[in-house]
């Protein structure tokens, strides 16, 4: 079933968005590539069987207002708060891909009382957000690909360590699949849709139960991005190799 597509005025902007399903609201936010629109989430729309999906074109994308310069993640988050107010949505889950994850984090930081849970898919982030995320006590699922060259796996660990109420799931290398390459590995909602959909379903059904142990207790989860570097010889050592 094709989602209903509508437009709504939000301050000086017009926001185009799609909606589908019923239940607790879930806001889906796409990435920053110029041609990205709400339709990048089409493989994830089956979530509408249990959730009310709200899927906007961010400012500068699709059929939403296209300012001369695309607003940054802070302005996008402010717009989204007003957008949700216009829709009468006062509590919502967030799911963001790439730059959309960065926008989702900013929205959660600025409006924590209205956010129920967060799913980050190969999420970008701003370095200034990381220390602020220490106070973000929302159940968060972080999904990355092991070989992502755009949003690298080390970013997943940084986010996991910054958000104490989070769980990191690392998917197998995308580039091992002959259909895809490193440039595509951050588009997980498209190229790894079955896994992303399954993880999101499980997490959203019981977010608090999906949380991992505190980061310092998770050595077994630390993958290739944080593996111990090769031990270098001690410069002061007289021992020959």
Please give the Cα distance from 241 to 132 (Å, whole number).
Answer: 45
Residue 50 has pLDDT above 90, yes or no: yes
Residue percentage of the chain with pLDDT more than 70: 82
Do residues 156 and 146 touch, judged by C-beta distance below 8 A? no
pLDDT given for residue 240 in this prediction: 41
Please give the Cα distance from 205 to 200 (Å, whole number).
Answer: 8
Residue 104 has pLDDT above 80, yes or no: yes
Segment 187-205, tens digit of pLDDT:
888 888 999 999 999 999 9
Residue with tokens 């959309």: 100
Q: From residue 229, how far is each of 120, 168, 205, 226 by CA, in Å? A: 28, 22, 38, 8
pLDDT given for residue 177 in this prediction: 65
Give per-residue burial for 168-182: e unless 16+ CB within 10 Å, then b.
Answer: bbbbebbbeeeebee
Query: Is 187 or 109 the better-scoring residue by pLDDT?
Result: 109
Q: Is the dihedral of CA 78, 83, 115, 222 positive or negative?
A: negative
Q: Residue 4 is inside which H or E element, if any?
A: strand 4-10
Residues 91, 116, 36: CA angle, nearest 5 degrees:
85
Segment 33-49, tens digit of pLDDT:
889 999 999 999 999 99
Structure confidence at residue 146 as a pLDDT band (50, 70, 90): confident
Tell me the three-class secondary structure of 92-147, residue by residue: EEEEEECHHHHHHHHHHHHCHHHEEEEEEECCCCCCCHHHHHHHCCCCEEEEEECC
Residue percentage of the chain with pLDDT more than 90: 71
pLDDT given for residue 227 in this prediction: 40
Which domains can be identified in the chain, with CATH numbers?
A: 4-226 (3.40.50.1820)
Give per-residue burial for 73-105: e unless 16+ CB within 10 Å, then b.
Answer: bbbbbbbbeebbeebeeeebbbbbbbbbbbbbb
């Amino acid at each position: 079933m094709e989602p209903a597509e509508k437009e709504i005025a939000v301050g000086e902007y017009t926001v185009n968005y799609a909606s589908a399903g019923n239940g607790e609201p879930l806001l889906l936010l796409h990435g920053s590539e110029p041609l990205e629109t709400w339709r990048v989430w089409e493989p994830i729309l089956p979530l509408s069987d249990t959730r009310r999906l709200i899927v906007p074109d961010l400012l500068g994308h699709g059929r939403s207002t296209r300012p001369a310069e695309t607003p940054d993640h802070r302005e996008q988050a402010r717009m989204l708060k007003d957008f949700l107010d216009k829709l009468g949505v006062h509590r919502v889950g967030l799911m963001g891909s790439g730059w959309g994850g960065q926008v989702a984090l900013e929205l959660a930081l600025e409006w924590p009382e209205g956010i129920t849970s967060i799913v980050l898919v190969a999420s970008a982030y701003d370095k200034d957000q990381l220390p602020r995320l220490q106070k973000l006590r929302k159940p968060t699922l972080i999904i990355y690909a092991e070989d992502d060259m755009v949003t690298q796996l080390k970013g997943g660990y940084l986010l996991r360590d910054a958000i104490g109420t989070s769980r990191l799931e690392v998917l197998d290398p995308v580039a091992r699949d002959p259909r895809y390459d490193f440039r595509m590995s951050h588009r997980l909602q498209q190229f790894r849709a079955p896994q992303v959909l399954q993880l999101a379903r499980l997490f959203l059904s019981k977010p608090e139960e999906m949380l991992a142990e505190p980061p310092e207790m998770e050595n077994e989860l630390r993958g290739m991005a944080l593996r111990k570097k090769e031990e270098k010889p001690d410069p002061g050592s007289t021992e020959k190799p």
